[in-house]
Structure 1
Amino acid sequence: MAGKIFWIIIGCLSILAGFLALANPLAATITAEQVAGWSFLFIGILQIVAVFQQTTWGGRIWVILLGVLFVLLGISLIANPLEGVITLTLTVAALFLVTGIFKIVLSFSLRGVPAFWLVLLSGAVSVILAVMIFGNFPASALTILGILLAVELISSGISLIALSTVRPATT
């Protein structure tokens, strides 16, 4: 019972954080960008350290280069938050566009299957979101990451609360 309450509290906090992010999407956007920057920095450092823990040299140079790239990307995002917001917004828009086109193409291979319309609709929504971001760029850069973070927090909070009500399977 205490475990369920714990997940409900986390879910409620996630939903609250999501609504706070919606209330100030610019602050949430900058926060998301900074979290990404610090994440890249730490992942890059850990990757470089992990390489030197290995006993063989096969592929080490590529892992080191990738680690250095992550560190440089992290430092760039942390040092230049507004440029980072613009870069991440363009990346998100490009990902929406590519995945949307992929889902639309995939949906046509699902004709006659109930999932056809859902996959087609999902692809269309992704493409429309990409067009909206690109069409309102650079103004969209100031809020879109914060709005996406808010939607993710609210969605995760709802799913955590829903999962807290699921009873474990008995054997």
Structure 2
Amino acid sequence: MPDSSKNGADDFIQRLKKAWGWLVLLGVISLVGGILCFANPLKATIAAETLAAIFFILIGILQLAQAFSMQGWGGVLWSAIVGVVSVLVGAILIKNPLEGAATLTAMVGILMFVMGGFKIAYSFSLRSMAGWVWVLVSGILSIVIGIVIFADFPWAAVTVLGLFLGVELTFNGISLLMTGIALRNA
């Protein structure tokens, strides 16, 4: 058994090596996207908010389709309500992009506080393990990000989502680019 598993992994690595160019291309595209987000965080924020709106609408439509495709299922009403609410949230976000960005930014700020608190609490349960301090630092940084968001609210709402998108695209681009180059050189 272990040999077939190893052969499967070797095959996968060989296929990845052949696709190194695609990874480099995707990395460069992602890096360019990250740079564009940093160059104009307002437009990036509106793009991120619009994308979230589209996903809410699509998820809502799929939820409605799923609810009404299940004959005799007792959860049809609740599933349909979730679908309708998702579509409405998406429509509201599309109709009012700046207000939607403010709402989403506030949610991100709250999420940073909550996640930070959980990470700090979790870090103390890991004190007997090496590296527990990094979980603590991550929790503290999450709370600091939450404070920064709310310290400059509502002005932060027009840039935070775009900057977060820029950070994500930049780090994603770097990782894809480095992976592609490493595969080419392997």
TM-score by length of 1: 0.92
Counterpart among 38, 43, 58 of residue 22 in structure 1: 38
Separation of aligned partners in 2, 1:151 and 1:101? 23
3-state SS of the aligned residue for 1:114? coil
Separation of aligned partners in 2, 1:117 and 1:23? 34
CA displacement 1:74-128 (0-9 Å, x = unmatched):
0000000111011001000000000001101111111131121100000000000
3-state SS of the aligned residue for 2:19? helix
Partner of 1:152: 168
Query: What are the within-5 Å matches in structure 2 for residues 7-86 of structure 1?
Result: 7-86=23-102
Match status 1:141 vs 2:157: yes
TM-score by length of 2: 0.85
CA displacement 1:27-52 (0-9 Å, x = unmatched):
10111111111110111011111222
Between the aligned residues of both structures, percent identity stands at 44
Match status 1:105 vs 2:143: no
Counterpart of 1:160 in structure 2: which amino acid? L
Deviation at residue 2 of structure 1 after TM alignment:
5.0
Q: 1:163 to 1:64 in 2, by over 3 A?
A: farther
Separation of aligned partners in 2, 1:19 and 1:113? 38
Higher relative helix content: 2
Could you list the runs of 5+ residues in structure 2 that have no partner in the other structure?
1-16
Counterpart among 108, 118, 128 of residue 144 in structure 2: 128
Could you list the runs of 5+ residues in structure 1 that have no partner in the other structure?
none
Separation of aligned partners in 2, 1:165 and 1:51? 46
Asked which structure has the greater CA Rg, the reply is 2
